[in-house]
Amino acid sequence: MKVYLVGGAVRDALLGRPAGDRDFVVVGATPAQMEAQGFRPVGRDFPVFLHPQTHEEYALARCERKAGHGYRGFTVLSTPDITLEEDLLRRDFTINAIARDDDGQHVDPYGGIADLEARVLRHVSPAFCEDPVRILRAARFMARWQPLGFSIADETMTLMRSMVAEGEVDHLVPERVFQELSRALQEPAPSAFLRTLRQCGALARILPEVDALYGVPQRAEYHPEIDTGLHVELCLDIAAQLAPGDALIAFCVLTHDLGKALTPARELPAHLRHEATGLEPLNTLCERLKVPAEHAALAKICCREHLNVHRLAELKASTVHDLIARCDGFRKPERVARLGLVCEADKRGRRGMAAADYPQRETLNALHAAALAVRPRDLDLAGLDGPQVGEKLRRARIAAIAAVRS
C-alpha cells in the first residue's frame, strides 16, 4: 500500500500559491484494509475514507468508464491492482494529474509540470469529453489563472467544441451549472469564464440570456466599449476588485443588463427601459438554474434599480426613500449596500473608466443610514393606527434623507 498527495495541493505548491485542502490517493489497498487502520468510509459512489486523526480524504485508486450521459454517467472500478498512472489518467487536466510521494518526489506521467511552466491548460486524455462538467471547470480555471498568463491548449478547445456540438453540455444538471458558475464568479478574472464558454460555444447553451448580449451595441458616449457582452465582462472584473470572492455581487453584475438583448433593432444603440425588460430573462435564468432565493431577489433589485442609483443626485428625497423601500432596505439593510457596489461596477466596467469616481455609492449609503436612524420609538405615535404610523414613519425618514442633502 502506498499513499500519494494528488491534485490541487500538488499543483498549487508548484505554482507557489497557498495550499487548500489536501487529497490523497492510496494504491494497492482494499476498503477492509483501510478500515482496519482506523479510516472511516465516507464515499457514496467510490471508496473514499477520512484519516482517523487529520480527517483528510484518502481515496482508493480507481478507474472510470462512461456508462451514460452527463457527469453522473460513469461506472467506477477500484481494485488493489489499479496503478497510480491509471488513476491520474482519469483526471481532467495535466496540471491536476501530478502526484507527490512521501519523499517529496513528483510522479508526472502526463507532462503536467511542463504545462504548468508553459501556463497551459491541457486535457489528460480523450476521456475528457465524457464529462461535460469539465468544460465548466476549464472556464472556471481560466477565471482563476488567466492573470497568471494561462491559456487553453488548442487541442483541448477543439475537444470542448466537439462536446458542445454533440450535445453533451445539454445533460448538465442545473444545480451543478450554478455551483460552477458561482465558484467562477469568486475568481479574480470572471470575464475569462464567459470568454472561454463562448469560445467553445457552451455559453449559448448554458447561459443563453448572457450570450445574447454579445454583439448588441450601446451608445459610444456612455459605453466606449460599445459591445454589451464586453461591457458585462469589464463589469465582472471590476466587481472582483470591489468585492473579492463575493459571488452574490458578481451574479447581480452578470445579470444587470439582460434587457439590452431584447431592445428592438430600430431603437439601437439606445436601450430604453432595459432595466424593466431585463426582469423576464432574469427570472427565466434563475428558474432554470435553480438560483438561491437571495441571489435572485437581489439580482432583480439591481436590474430594476441600477439606473435610478446612477441618477441619484436627481431624485427627490421621497423617491430615494421609496427606492430603499422597494429593496426591502429597512428590514434587510445589506441589500442597499450591495446595490451600490453593483452599480459602481456597472459604471466603472466601461473601456477607459476602470478608475472612474462613483460618488453615488457613498451617497446612497449615507442617505440610507440617515433613514435607518429614524425609529418608530423616537416618534410621537399617540392615537395613530397602523397605516397612520407607517405614513408618519415614512415622512420622518424622508425628512432625514432631505436633511443629509441640505
Phi, psi angles (nearest 5°) of residue 67: -135, 5
Nearest one of 296, 257, 295 to 276, comparing CA atoms: 257
Task: Give me Rg for the CA atoms of the chain.
Answer: 26
| pLDDT per residue as tens digits for the range 373-390 | 998 777 777 777 778 877
| pLDDT per residue as tens digits for the range 336-356 | 999 999 999 999 999 999 999
The pTM for the full model equals 0.90
Check for a shared fold between 1-125 and 132-206. Answer: no
| pLDDT per residue as tens digits for the range 204-223 | 999 999 999 999 999 999 99
CATH class assigned to 132-206: mainly alpha
Q: Where are the domains of the chain?
A: 1-125, 132-206, 227-406
Q: Which residue stretches of the chain have pLDDT < 50?
A: 67, 70, 73
Residue 185 amino acid letter? L
Q: Cell numbers 444587470 correspond to what residue?
A: 256
HSE at residue 10, side-chain half, CA atoms within 13 A, is 25
| pLDDT per residue as tens digits for the range 2-21 | 999 998 999 999 999 887 78
Fold of the domain spanning 1-125: Beta Polymerase; domain 2 (3.30.460)
Cell of 396: 420622518
CB 226 within 8 A of CB 218: yes
